[in-house]
């Protein structure tokens, strides 16, 4: 099997009379998209805004970020089992509007969602400041439940990304990359002398509104599963969680998972990347034991020499991370962990909630407790009201000059545990 990803590079996003790409600009029919999104009875209103790199704009609280994509050979968009018909993702051809994104904000469920600054020091900590963002500000209908509210905002963003993706359907990509997908035994036969590597992809699933979806299924209801790496590029994995912004994997992060992309670049050269094991992050000890047991068994069955394990979230999931590491290491398979740290504002607290002497190869994505002062912006899309109560905010953090002091925890993607960020840490 093969999968081809074609990128159309977007240099600008503007409103226009029709939704299309012309001369590197994505034009959006504002009224048509708003009408489409308002078909959801759970939404009271929808407003569209545009934010460009370098604009004096603060977007908050951000629910999700999604990249527009389309499969030219299919009638529907991507995100199978979620807002599109079911299909097997990661095969065939997909076109992406690279450089653009859909950002969802407005009144959200809880206040653990974060901030995107389009300029200044905050912009340097989030990858989304470098994108041309179509921002959707949504107001939910009255009297809906928190679950209905979250689902409406989640699906709204996915539908908008699918709508924009249609503009790429008949375009010739500026750049294409083709990946070959082989049966497991063929990888071992073709690359006998290269180290075999798998990726253990931990997904947030810790109870109420801490959800991730795989083909539309809440992963808290799953056991560890093998996945072809290209499946995520068609939206097989969708974010639905309300967790700290800094290490939350948005849908954009999943679509562009750098662990997967980097392993695919090196595949057949200095390593053999056999695929991914997706597993959940659990609340109870029994569930943690079950998932880590099955993850280690599946990794061993793949016959690999090493694995990369990435976490999502912190605290409770640290136990899942260390359990996966310990059980895989005890099978003689080397592990490298990717996580971030909550080491206190001065960096002297314990970084992880769990540890093991076998976890001796760890890549840090930075300390989420570090403080930063974000300068005032000329414009806010969404609302500043949650500034004191979002994760990473605190009472009195709104300053008289309009600036905002927060922990890095409040900035979307600042310490992302897929390595999709600019921070790290090292031991001296």
Instruction: Look at residues 337, 349, 104 and name the one whose alpha carbon lies nearest to residue 238.
Output: 104
Q: Which token pair is 344? A: 């206190």
Known catalytic residue at 272: no
Instruction: Look at residues 420, 411, 414 and name the one whose alpha carbon lies nearest to residue 392.
Output: 411
Residue tagged active-site, from 242, 246, 276, 325 = 242
81 to each of 35, 93, 238, 284, how far by Cα in Å?
A: 23, 18, 10, 28
Cβ atoms of 256 and 420 closer than 8 Å: yes
Instruction: Look at residues 268, 320, 276, 322 and name the one whose alpha carbon lies nearest to residue 299.
Output: 276
Phi, psi (rounded to 5 degrees) for 422: -115, 5
Distance CA 88, CA 91 (A): 7
Q: Which token pair is 354? A: 């769990």
| Helices 146-165/30-37 angle, 10° precision | 140
* Active site members: 242
């Amino acid at each position: 099997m093969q999968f081809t990803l074609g990128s159309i590079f977007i240099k600008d996003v503007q409103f226009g009379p029709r939704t299309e790409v012309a001369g590197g600009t994505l034009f959006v029919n504002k009224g048509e998209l708003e009408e489409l999104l308002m078909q959801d009875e759970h939404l009271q209103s929808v407003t569209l805004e545009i934010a460009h790199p370098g604009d004096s704009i603060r977007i908050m609280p951000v629910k999700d970020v999604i990249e527009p994509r389309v499969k030219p050979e299919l009638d529907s968009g991507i995100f199978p089992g979620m807002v599109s018909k079911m299909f097997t993702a990661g095969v065939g051809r997909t076109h992406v509007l690279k450089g653009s994104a859909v950002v969802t904000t407005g009144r959200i469920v809880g206040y653990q969602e974060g901030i995107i600054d389009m300029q200044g020091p905050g912009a340097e900590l989030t990858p989304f400041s470098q994108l041309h963002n179509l921002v959707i500000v949504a107001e939910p209908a009255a009297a809906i439940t928190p679950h209905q509210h979250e689902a409406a905002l989640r699906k709204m963003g996915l539908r908008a990304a699918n709508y924009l993706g249609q503009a790429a359907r008949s375009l010739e990509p500026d750049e294409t990359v083709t990946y070959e997908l082989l049966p497991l035994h063929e990888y071992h036969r073709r690359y006998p002398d290269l180290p075999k590597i798998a990726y253990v992809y931990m997904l947030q699933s810790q109870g109420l509104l801490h959800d991730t979806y795989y083909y539309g299924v809440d992963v808290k209801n799953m056991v560890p599963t093998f996945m072809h790496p290209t499946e995520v590029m068609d939206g097989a994995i969708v974010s639905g969680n309300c967790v700290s912004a800094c290490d939350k994997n948005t849908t954009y992060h999943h679509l562009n998972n750098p662990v997967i992309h980097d392993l695919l670049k090196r595949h057949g050269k200095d390593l053999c990347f056999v695929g991914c094991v997706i597993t959940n992050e659990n609340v109870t000890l029994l569930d943690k034991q079950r998932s880590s047991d099955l993850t280690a068994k599946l990794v061993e069955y793949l016959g690999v020499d090493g694995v990369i394990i990435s976490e999502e979230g912190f605290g409770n999931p640290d136990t899942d991370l260390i359990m996966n590491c310990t059980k895989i290491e005890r099978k003689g398979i080397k592990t490298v962990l990717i996580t971030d740290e909550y080491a206190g504002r001065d960096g002297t607290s314990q970084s992880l909630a769990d540890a093991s002497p076998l976890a001796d190869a760890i890549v840090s994505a930075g300390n989420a407790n570090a403080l930063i002062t974000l300068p005032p912006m000329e414009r806010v899309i969404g609302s500043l009201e949650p500034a004191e109560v979002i994760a990473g905010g605190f009472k009195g953090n709104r300053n008289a000059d309009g600036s905002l002091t927060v922990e890095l925890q409040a900035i979307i993607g600042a310490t992302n545990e897929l390595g999709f960020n600019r921070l790290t840490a090292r031991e001296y």
